[in-house]
Amino acid sequence: MGPAQRPGSQPHIQPDPQGVSAPMGCSKPGFTLSPGSSRGDPSYPKPNISLRPSGGVSLGRAVDVRCWGEHQGVRFMLKKEGRHFPPVDSNGFEAVFRISNVRREDGGNYSCSYQSRSEPLAVSYPSDPVELVVRGEGPGSASPFPAPPPARPSWGLGANGTLRCQGQHQNVTFFLHKAGDLNPQQQMDPAGDRAEFHIPTVGRQHGGNYSCSYRNRSEPFVSSEPSDPVQLVVAAPLDFTNTNIVRLGLVAMVLLVLGLILAEAYYSPFWNISEGESYLYSVS
């Protein structure tokens, strides 16, 4: 659990400067409708929601929760699993809620909705949830298995590969990540402190940098820092298809012809004209 909020300290969540919000625990004057107390209005489509940064945030850092919709000048409301935040009146199409000094309990699923300021009963449907993962443990480790250090792991096309991840705690859930993909590739719940991720029938799409992380099963939104990445190289096998065999044969034939031409030129007689006399030389 994180430290308690000290009296007089700033609110834990802050809105974007274009909106106005009240400190947590206070209600905004004139705001009488609690989120979820009315059905969504079809003329108010559900908004979008995103996190910045999107790949998880370390303890003590800040994260922005961005909500935006199709209507301008509305009131945005942010919700997290039964926890409601002070609403934000936006002059544009979006509102940004900033969570500064992220704590473990801030991890979870967030969604937002909006309502008309002039018609409080006109409320949008909630957005799709977005998952905030808080990184608060030590790093795990990722290594290829078997790994011939310090060489990079190289697997042939069609082979069956295995990546092994090891952490500092037992009975945790391991996640395998690939650089450039926000969603984990795989997850596993082993009994010990390590997990082996199998990649059957390795293809070119599997090449790249991999890392792993783990989460305590009792705190599914609190993650370790990602491990150092390991690069997976997919080696292409020699291609001996009929087409390539024909190509190799043609190349060999061309080289043979060129060799014969050069040999004939090397061993043939040639004329050397010097001072008006003609001499026939035979090079042997």
280: pLDDT strictly greater than 60: no
Region 23-45: mean pLDDT is: 49
Mean pLDDT lowest among 9-13, 140-144, 194-198, 244-248: 9-13
277/46: higher pLDDT: 46
pTM reported for the whole predicted model? 0.61
29/255: higher pLDDT: 255
Place of tokens 């303890």: 59
Region 72-87: mean pLDDT is: 90
Percent of the chain residues past pLDDT 90, beyond the cut: 27
List, for residues 132-151, the tens digit of each pLDDT value: 999 876 566 655 543 333 34
Region 43-71: mean pLDDT is: 93
Q: How far apart, in whole angstroms, are the C-alpha atoms of residue 36 and residue 159?
A: 52
List, for residues 234-275, the tens digit of each pLDDT value: 876 655 566 777 778 888 888 888 878 877 766 665 544 444
DSSP string for residues in 80-125: ETTEE---EE-SSSEEEEEE-S--GGG-EEEEEEEE-SS-TT-BPP
**Residue whose C-alpha is closest to residue 45's, from 123, 105, 132:** 123
Topology classification of domain 13-132? Immunoglobulin-like (2.60.40)
Percent of the chain residues past pLDDT 70, beyond the cut: 69
Q: Sort strands 48-52 and 63-68 into parallel, antiparallel or unpaired.
A: antiparallel
136-235 — its CATH code? 2.60.40.10
Report pLDDT for 40: 64
Report pLDDT for 259: 78
Q: What is the residue-averaged pLDDT of the chain?
A: 75
N residues, the chain: 284
Tokens of 235: 């080696």
Q: For 53-79, give one letter per residue: b (16+ CB within 10 A) or e.
A: eeebbebeeebbbbbbbebeebbbbbb
172: pLDDT strictly greater than 50: yes
237/47: higher pLDDT: 47
List, for residues 98-126, the tens digit of each pLDDT value: 999 999 999 999 999 999 998 878 899 99
Phi, psi of 265, rounded to the nearest 5 degrees: -65, -30
Report pLDDT for 79: 95
